[in-house]
């Protein structure tokens, strides 16, 4: 059996990007298998047997299947990280709780609003209602206030955590749908600029470029 964990995903997916960034920081080599979402490969019977929610990324660690980037990154740190790794510590319950909060903020608010737009454009090929873009803008406003209030280098304190991988990946893609968001949300902008000074975001660049190339065409076709 393979010693490398396999991750099913596609370049351009923020959650997949989050997992690749986490793996880079941990020094874990991933066996990547591409699942073409636009060709609906995630709905193949074989894939659904592994991932009933038919999403990416999906981790296959020698037969142990785990969906959702937030859960996957926590698992990777617990398995491959240092003892009580600050990326997602086992023993520091307060820091871990704050990391969990930021992860839920990403999955339940910021990322969720962006996905409603990409699903409508990517899978239905129709123009989303203005409300969808307004909801995403509101989510960015909440994130901007969170970063302002906490006033720390990273999403949780001044030490990198798995929350940074998720937030960074989400903003990198979903900011594409909000014109001039950098001017409206200066605290997010400053956070993103700080993260770009590190080496781990570079593995996400391929995905961001792929996402923008695809959706620039789609937006033009839909007159957005």
Catalytic site positions: 13
Contacts of 119 (CB under 8 A, 6+ apart): none
Cβ atoms of residues 117 and 132 within 8 Å = yes
Q: How far is CA 115 from CA 17, 33, 135, 171, 211, in A?
A: 15, 22, 11, 12, 13
Residue 57 DSSP label:
-
Distance CA 175, CA 97 (A): 27
Angle 139-145-148 (CA atoms, 0-180°, nearest 5)?
145
In sequence order, the β-bridge partners of residue 61 are 64
DSSP 3-state helix, strand, coil percentages of the chain (rounded to 5)? Answer: 60, 5, 30
Contacts of 170 (CB under 8 A, 6+ apart): 14, 18, 106, 110, 111, 114
Cis peptide preceding 57, ω within 30 of 0: yes
Considering only CA atoms, which of 126, 204, 139, 146 is closest in space to residue 178?
Answer: 139
Count of Cβ atoms closer than 10 Å to residue 119 Cβ = 13
């Amino acid at each position: 059996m393979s010693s490398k964990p396999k991750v099913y995903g596609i370049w351009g997916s923020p959650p997949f990007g989050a997992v690749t960034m986490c793996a880079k920081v941990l020094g874990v080599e991933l066996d990547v298998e591409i699942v073409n979402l636009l060709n609906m490969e995630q709905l193949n019977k074989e894939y659904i047997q592994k991932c009933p929610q038919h999403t990416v990324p999906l981790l296959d660690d020698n037969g142990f299947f785990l969906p959702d980037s937030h859960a996957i990154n926590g698992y990777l740190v617990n398995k491959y990280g240092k003892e009580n790794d600050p990326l997602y510590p086992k023993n520091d319950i307060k820091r871990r709780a704050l990391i969990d909060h930021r992860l839920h903020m990403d999955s339940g608010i910021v990322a969720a609003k962006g996905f409603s737009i990409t699903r409508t454009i990517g899978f239905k090929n129709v123009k989303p209602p203005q409300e969808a873009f307004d909801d995403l803008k509101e989510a960015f406003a909440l994130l901007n206030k969170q970063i302002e209030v906490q006033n720390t280098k990273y999403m949780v304190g001044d030490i990198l955590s798995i929350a940074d991988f998720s937030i960074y990946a989400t903003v990198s893609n979903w900011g594409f749908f909000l014109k001039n968001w950098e001017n409206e949300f200066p605290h997010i902008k400053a956070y993103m600029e700080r993260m770009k000074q590190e080496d781990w975001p570079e593995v996400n660049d391929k995905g961001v470029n792929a996402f923008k190339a695809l959706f620039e065409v789609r937006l033009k076709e839909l007159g957005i």
